[in-house]
Structure 1
């Protein structure tokens, strides 16, 4: 009930301290306020204190309560209703470029690299409510899965639908994936443009040199974060297809062109990361999330409702009640 109560002038509550000496003075002088009749002896009278005389301090209590209520009213109690409105004054456009080659099904991540990337990527999207996000997939070639959009449901659905497909030529076209991402962002009017490029291999396909794609990113002011995915050493990786259509797995050496990924990140003002397991991949996306923050301007509107009137009315009511009692019920005993 009083959760949103505030007081505009709380310094008036110091006046409540004056009620303490007033109370002490009343009880010290109470007997002197009652008329006295001195008699040599009261043996002929039956002494019995009446109920009204016992209730006489009620008048003083009513007056104290009235004063306390008036002091509270002077402190200007009021309720406040706060509403906020946010304005995105520095938005970020982000393209997530994800390698979907067969090697992304390697099982050095749980359950595999691709599923882990999808899970962490979806969480990253959910944590960016104020930005536009697009999705580019690449293997031996690249294509735009989703243009940059502020509709997070579209981006989330797109990343959930990612799966390995032999429709794309097999291989790893890092240059093509980066160039397609640049093409998605080059006409953006956002204050900040970012590519998060994730791969688990070396550039061995495509018609665009990664260095040329990197130069394009620099020209259009696009920062690129690169992530190399794969454990150190060997990993259980698809090496063929069985007659039943399932992949045949074998132990393969993990090869990531870290030098190239580091160079792309350095040239574009980004940063290179190496993810060797699920936990490390989550930490990388969390770090990127902390590095790229949208500037939000928040407006707060305060609606105050004054609440002093009920206190004043109640105080006046108590004073009136005290006067009625004083000049009616307690009139002969004062």
Structure 2
């Protein structure tokens, strides 16, 4: 109970330092006011100790307790109930454009580039509860997997379904970027962001990446670009086996970093290179920090005053002192 009590005017507790001084003053005054009679002998007198005489200091103790209670009441004990309400004041709409070409099955990231990306992207989506997110996938062509939505369960479910082979193979970076721009161009959000990820060079598509970047600039869309793949050679699908599965072999990793840097710079974003799983996680963490959603917090505080019972206790002690003073102890005062 006491741990929930706060005091609005705690400075009044300094007055409690006067109580020990008042007690010392009473002891000194009590001894001075007590009369003494010197006699040569007490023979012939019946000595009886009065119980009420010994209890007389109780009156002063009651007065001190009353003063202590009044000081506590002046300090205004109270309980405080705080309720919080948050309001998103600046929402962000984000579209993640994901390369699903066969090279995304390379095993330089574990268990593959695409699997590693899906895991990290899912964590990124879960960390953005106040934003709307959409998904675009591209290879030789591109399409919208999920329009921008605030329902994260829909986005996460769609992300889990992404796999290689759902569209024609290739790397149409311009098409992937243009489709993402198309999903965001009519957005009323204060901030619009595309996260474009690829592991290769633009080899397909009817729209050039530079043209798509110009569209992003026109609609005020910032683009973060990520090149995924190790430096050097990676174990990559190079052909099909008779059963339709991929045959793997080592192939040099080629990422058009100049293009990705150019897109990011032109749109006001930033380019990143993910060479392993840990680096990919760090990149999405950094983007998460760069694109902060502004949230306004309102706090409502309700105070409940508790000084009244303490004040009543003080007046009760004073009345008790007066009652005892003019009744039980009347003949001793």
Using structure 1 for the length normalisation, give the TM-score.
0.91
Deviation at 1:332, TM superposition (A): 5.2
Pick closer, same or farther for the CA change 1:85–1:23 going to 2, 3 Å. Answer: same
Pick closer, same or farther for the CA change 1:51–1:114 going to 2, 3 Å. Answer: farther
Deviation at 1:40, TM superposition (A): 3.3
Deviation at 1:12, TM superposition (A): 1.7
Aligned Cα root-mean-square deviation (Å): 2.2
Name the counterpart of 2:265: 266
Deviation at 1:225, TM superposition (A): 0.3
Q: Within 5 Å, which residues of 2 pair with 1:152-231?
A: 152-163=152-163, 165-231=164-230
Cα distance in 1, alignment partners of residues 190 and 153 from structure 2: 23
Contact in 2 for aligned 1:59/1:322 (Cα 8 Å) = yes
Using structure 2 for the length normalisation, give the TM-score.
0.91
Name the counterpart of 1:142: 142
Name the counterpart of 2:17: 17
Write the deviation string for residues 149-196 of structure 1: whole angstroms up to 9, x where unpaired.
112222222223322x32300111111110010000000011111101
Write the deviation string for residues 49-79 of structure 1: whole angstroms up to 9, x where unpaired.
5665555444333322221121111122222
Q: Within 5 Å, which residues of 2 pair with 1:43-192?
A: 53-163=53-163, 165-192=164-191
Cα distance in 1, alignment partners of residues 282 and 9 from structure 2: 49
Name the counterpart of 1:313: 312
Cα distance in 1, alignment partners of residues 58 and 268 from structure 2: 79
Pick closer, same or farther for the CA change 1:17–1:169 going to 2, 3 Å. Answer: same
Unaligned runs of 5+ in 2: none
Is 1:31 equivalent to 2:31 in the alignment?
yes
212-221 or 13-22: bigger deviation: 13-22
Name the counterpart of 1:251: 250
Name the counterpart of 1:287: 286
1:6 counterpart SS class = strand
1:237 counterpart SS class = strand
Cα distance in 2, alignment partners of residues 63 and 125 from structure 1: 67
Deviation at 1:112, TM superposition (A): 1.8
Cα distance in 2, alignment partners of residues 297 and 80 from structure 1: 22
Unaligned runs of 5+ in 1: none
Deviation at 1:312, TM superposition (A): 0.7
Cα distance in 2, alignment partners of residues 18 and 12 from structure 1: 11
Name the counterpart of 2:322: 323
Cα distance in 1, alignment partners of residues 8 and 240 from structure 2: 76
Deviation at 1:329, TM superposition (A): 4.8
Deviation at 1:45, TM superposition (A): 5.6
Count of aligned pairs:
333
2:124 counterpart SS class = helix
Cα distance in 2, alignment partners of residues 276 and 46 from structure 1: 107
Cα distance in 1, alignment partners of residues 156 and 45 from structure 2: 96
Deviation at 1:219, TM superposition (A): 0.4
1:89 counterpart SS class = strand
Pick closer, same or farther for the CA change 1:141–1:298 going to 2, 3 Å. Answer: same
Cα distance in 2, alignment partners of residues 206 and 142 from structure 1: 9
14-23 or 174-183: bigger deviation: 14-23
Pick closer, same or farther for the CA change 1:42–1:237 going to 2, 3 Å. Answer: farther
Cα distance in 1, alignment partners of residues 133 and 307 from structure 2: 51
297-306 or 234-243: bigger deviation: 234-243
Deviation at 1:131, TM superposition (A): 1.3
Contact in 2 for aligned 1:4/1:81 (Cα 8 Å) = no
125-134 or 171-180: bigger deviation: 125-134
2:204 counterpart SS class = coil
Cα distance in 1, alignment partners of residues 40 and 12 from structure 2: 52
Pick closer, same or farther for the CA change 1:52–1:235 going to 2, 3 Å. Answer: farther
Cα distance in 2, alignment partners of residues 114 and 332 from structure 1: 99
